[in-house]
Structure 1
Amino acid sequence: MKICDSIKYVGVDDHEIDLFEGQFEVPNGMAYNSYVILDDKIAVMDSVDAHFGEEWLSNIAGVLEAAGGRKPDYLVVQHMEMDHSANIKAFTDKYPEAKIVGSKMSFNMMKSMFGTDFADRQIVAGEGTELELGAAAGDHTLKFIAAPNVHWPEVIMTYDVKEKVLFAADAFGKFGANDYDDPEGWACEARRYYFGIVGKFGPQVQAVLKKAEGLEIKTICSLHGPVLSDNIKYYLDTYNTWSSYGVESEGIVVNYTSVYGSTKKAAEKIAEILKAKGCPKVALNDLAREDIYECVEDAFRYGKMILATTTYCGGVFPKMREFIEHLTERNYQNRKIGLIENGSWVPSAAKGIVAMFEGSKDITFAENKVTIKITMTEENEAELEKLADEMLK
């Protein structure tokens, strides 16, 4: 990937991985990004996943050879998650003169991971710390930005003053290898990535975005996904919407679970009614069969959601319960929810759902709840009409 003449890409693409972090399906692979900044001194930005150490070191060696056979002076460690830190020890073994730059907490983590915190090679970086890579005015200066809990507590970001590049750690990342040309663009898999991994930490992301307001940013280099260089405002604005739990798209998502098909019919019926009444977008998801994190991203993308589910063991159907837990642990808030419940004798799923959101902020439930007993009736269809009208107000 092209960044600029003095910053080279040395990351890798992973096409063997099936589950990122052991849970997120990544059919298009994953990218582990790393960069080399060339000046009087040379800085390597982050490591890569354990499986790609040799390829990464070879990529670095190629850049150094093209630069006259020089050696790196620094390895900047922005994030200690293992897909970015696994080869720190391999780097230090190959380049024993290089210093390691990271936050104080990152060195504590290194000791746990490698049995050493590289005490004789440490440069501790925190908010406002600067590292000069050149002696002359206008050369590369790295300014470090503390970014705790975006999404680990040790994270720092790095701003290159010369090239106006923000090295953003995991922020602005997305699923997918970089050699995969995603027809849906950045936002789709970046959204699933954000709400799946970072979504709980909206206030912390907001804090970093406030710091970014004072920077002139021409390029964003994340640890996952493509280098972002056109329309930087779009990426910053999108992250601001996501991290403030704002509404990104007008529409309603209908998420359902169904055992014998009756609740599914109700979900499909209200989706049909919403479309007929002019709802700009209706997303319909079967929580038992679709990627749960696709469903999570839809819940955060739209401002309104309808949950349709079966009463099970006197409470909420397991797949619906699991889905709601994904939302509440990510601080789902500022949304309106409509409820459709089904039950053979005493429908009680709606009551259970309301209880699950008790700790959530600014959740409003529609007054027109729909209760089905086994099979949808004409009366239920009329109730669905009323629910749709309320949700569309």
Structure 2
Amino acid sequence: MVKYIGVNDRKIDLFEGQFVVPEGVSYNSYLILDEKIAVMDTVDINFKDEFLANLEKALDGRKPDYLIVDHMEPDHSASIKALVDKYPNIEIVGNQTTFKMINQFFPGFTFKQVLVKEGDKLSLGKHNLSFIFAPMVHWPEVMMTYDSYDKCLYSADAFGKFGALDFDDPEGWACEARRYYFGIVGKFGVNVQNLFKKLPSIDLEIIRPLHGPVLTAPLDEYIRLYDIWSKYEPEADAVTIAYTSVYGNTRNAVNLLKDNITKDYDMFDLARDDFHEAIEGAFENKYLVLATTTYCSGIFPKMLDFLHALKERGYQNRTIAIIENGSWAPQAKKLIVEFIINNFKNIRIIEKTITIKSALTEENKKEIIELASELNK
């Protein structure tokens, strides 16, 4: 039997100090009740009392034998010491890097440990656990636990999403899972692909991530999307427009552009809209339009931040169009192209760049409509 003992965090304003999460986030923990009992990870320290109360109720007078630590990030590990203080005979199951990190987060902490390696097994009775190492998805110690009895993968942060479990997301799993992936895991696509090489060897019907809902069969769509995301391939034949505008003239340009785009599009003011939704959009869609001003002989700061964020996440395999504005010495296009060439892979830059000098001219309007026609192909 498996029971949920995690918590919903509705108090959080920024996840990891940067991601806006208006619908909160869940810290998932599970209890596997068998001849022996295993706790699957813990929760953020701010919810340790609720977590321990959930655990005690689920145990119904029994004591846990093992704590499986799949991931040491504090939103999942910060209550480890509190758990051991309450149940001092519990054994912590982890890998070599897990225990190194426990000693870093809890200096002087002593505990019973079970060191496991890739492929090792741990029997609870009917539930037989095995361990699949997934380093850098998205921390180096990450491992996943497979329960052959339930055909369930405890997947650490992989397949997770933003949003508390009491949030019925009208957009479904993919939207906030995508924003979560490209915000947090996106840099490590190669590592996710390495994990995928191991998954065909297991019979999989359930995925229990550390954030978000339990995923149940059929799992094909979740795995298909994760495969696309981790290969840095576009998910949709659509357009993302990311822009900055100081006095409204560059905004006028992108408004004209979006009015002439016939396929699906997203548009983001990088100074005002959710920065990480803009990153999500850039990775989701095949086409990216960058529209910005020259600022102090460089790229406008919010646009430069956006480019660096894409670089950090391995942006590639897309088509980019550039609209620049500059009242006396436009430099944005030249500098953006240099940045793309030096930092992105397999990018096609649309040859025709639109240069605005202060405000839109009739010629600029014609060029923007021509760009829209190319994006619509």
Q: TM-score range by the shorter chain?
A: over 0.9
Of the three residues 206, 210, 218, the one matched with 1:223 is 210
The aligned counterpart of 2:16 is: 21
Distance 2:215 2:277 in 1: 23
Structure 2: segments with no counterpart, 5+ residues: none
Deviation readout 1:26-84 (Å, 9 max, x if unpaired): 1111100000011111000001000011111111111110xxx2111000000000000
Deviation readout 1:294-329 (Å, 9 max, x if unpaired): 000000000111111111011111111111111111
Of the three residues 296, 308, 319, the one matched with 1:336 is 319
SS in 2 for 1:240: helix
Distance 2:296 2:150 in 1: 60
TM-score of the aligned structures, taking structure 2 as reference length:
0.98
Say if 2:191 is the partner of 1:204. yes
The aligned counterpart of 1:373 is: 357
Give the letter aligned to residue 287 of structure 1.
L
The aligned counterpart of 2:369 is: 385
Of the three residues 91, 104, 114, the one matched with 1:112 is 104
The aligned counterpart of 2:4 is: 9
Of the three residues 241, 244, 247, the one matched with 1:254 is 241
Give the letter aligned to residue 301 of structure 1.
E
Say if 2:169 is the partner of 1:182. yes
SS in 1 for 2:35: coil
The aligned counterpart of 2:118 is: 127
1:226-375 to 2 correspondences below 5 Å: 226-275=213-262, 279=263, 281-357=264-340, 358-375=342-359
Q: CA deviation at 1:364?
A: 1.2
Distance 1:318 1:355 in 2: 16
Give the letter aligned to residue 124 of structure 1.
L
Task: Decide whether the 8 Å contact of 1:11 with 1:32 is kept in 2.
Answer: yes
The aligned counterpart of 1:47 is: 42
SS in 1 for 2:22: coil
SS in 2 for 1:362: strand
Q: CA deviation at 1:93?
A: 1.1
Q: CA deviation at 1:244?
A: 0.6
Q: CA deviation at 1:117?
A: 6.1
SS in 2 for 1:347: coil
Q: Percent identity?
A: 53
The aligned counterpart of 1:98 is: 90
Q: Aligned pairs, how many?
A: 376
The aligned counterpart of 2:76 is: 84
Distance 1:334 1:384 in 2: 23
Q: CA deviation at 1:220?
A: 0.6
Give the letter aligned to residue 234 of structure 2.
V
The aligned counterpart of 1:141 is: 128
Runs of 4+ in 1 over 4 A off after TM superposition: none
SS in 2 for 1:213: helix
Distance 1:50 1:20 in 2: 14
Distance 2:225 2:199 in 1: 14
Q: CA deviation at 1:248?
A: 1.0
When the two chains are superposed, the root-mean-square deviation of aligned CA atoms in Å is 1.1
The aligned counterpart of 1:3 is: none
Distance 2:191 2:358 in 1: 45
Deviation readout 1:351-385 (Å, 9 max, x if unpaired): 11112222211111101110010111111112113
Task: Decide whether the 8 Å contact of 1:110 with 1:116 is kept in 2.
Answer: no
Give the letter aligned to residue 102 of structure 1.
G
Task: Decide whether the 8 Å contact of 1:368 with 1:390 is kept in 2.
Answer: no
Give the letter aligned to residue 221 of structure 1.
R
Distance 1:354 1:289 in 2: 24
The aligned counterpart of 1:72 is: 64
Give the letter aligned to residue 89 of structure 1.
K
Give the letter aligned to residue 390 of structure 1.
E
Task: Decide whether the 8 Å contact of 1:108 with 1:117 is kept in 2.
Answer: no
Give the letter aligned to residue 251 of structure 2.
K
Deviation readout 1:313-348 (Å, 9 max, x if unpaired): 111111111111111110000011000000001111
TM-score of the aligned structures, taking structure 1 as reference length:
0.94
Structure 1: segments with no counterpart, 5+ residues: 1-5
Q: CA deviation at 1:231?
A: 2.4
